[in-house]
Amino acid sequence: MSPLVSFAHIAVLVTLVIAAFLAVTLRDLMSSVIALAAASLLLALEYYLLHAPDVAIAEAAIGAALSTAIYIFAVRATRR
């Protein structure tokens, strides 16, 4: 594995952990949902780096787009 690819792996994974931590700790629910979407998108990027483009497409479409939309509908329907 070339050093550039290793660096890309490490950068994506560290950012993924930061985004997941933010999704748990943020007080505002809407910001937390956006952090979860960012974590999902970074996970899709990691799948792509691991040569699994099928899983990356599914993760980007379902995790980052559809579940974020459903979470936003749910947050809007409840009292903050």
Contact footprint for other proteins (CB under 8 A): 1, 53-54, 57-58, 61-62, 65-66, 69-70, 72-74, 76-77, 79
Number of H helices, E strands in the chain: 4, 0
Q: Considering beta carbons, is residue 9 or 26 the nearer one to other proteins?
A: 9
Angle (CA) 44 9 69, round 5°: 20
**At closest approach, how far in Å is the CB of 67 from other proteins?**
10
For other proteins, the closer of residues 5 and 28 by Cβ is 5
Q: How far is the CB of 42 from other proteins (least distance, A)?
A: 18
